[in-house]
């Protein structure tokens, strides 16, 4: 049986995400959103370092593919920019979803 559920990060816009990550410092919370094979997963981590000149943030935990470096502007993974891992703002709803579904949740599809 397929149970519909919503993505807790779906209302976040690219400008909001960029603004959040352009203002982070080492130790601040971060979240990676992954959509692989009809699953939705969030990886909760923290900022390891920032490089505003290059527009990159470096995280403590990596995405499943592509590593720990992400672009501030697009939220895309530096090592896999066309992949399905993107930065999102680690809101309380995102954190709650990640804690409730640490391996992700199957059955998600966009649209």
- Does residue 2 belong to any structural domain of this protein? no
Does 67 map to a domain? yes
Show the domain range for 61.
30-101
Gyration radius from the chain CA atoms = 13
Q: Is 18 within the bounds of a domain? A: no
64 lies in some domain: yes
Task: Measure CA of the first residue to CA of the last residue in the chain; give whole Å.
Answer: 19
Q: Is the pLDDT of residue 111 over 60?
A: no
Residue 108: the pLDDT is 63
Name the percent of the chain lying above pLDDT 90: 82
Taking the C-alpha atoms of residue 6 and residue 4, their distance in angstroms, rounded to an integer, is 7
Counting the structural domains of the chain, the total is 1
pLDDT band at 5 (very low <50, low <70, confident <90, very high): confident
The model's pLDDT over 35-62, given as tens digits with 9 standing for 90+, comes to 987 899 999 999 999 999 999 999 999 9
Question: Given pLDDT bands bounded at 50, 70 and 90, which one contains residue 1?
Answer: very low
**What's the CA gap between 39 and 111, in Å, rounded?**
14
Number of residues that this document lists for the chain: 111
């Amino acid at each position: 049986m397929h149970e519909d559920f919503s993505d807790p990060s779906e209302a976040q816009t690219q400008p909001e995400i960029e603004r959040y990550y352009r203002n982070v410092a080492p130790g601040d919370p971060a979240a990676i959103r992954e959509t692989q094979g009809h699953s939705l997963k969030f990886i909760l981590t923290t900022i390891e370092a920032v490089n505003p000149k290059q527009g990159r943030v470096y995280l403590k935990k990596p995405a499943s593919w592509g590593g720990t470096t992400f672009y501030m502007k697009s939220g895309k993974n530096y090592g896999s920019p066309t992949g399905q891992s993107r930065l999102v703002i680690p809101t309380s709803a995102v954190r709650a979803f990640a804690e409730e579904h640490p391996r992700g949740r199957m059955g998600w599809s966009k649209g």
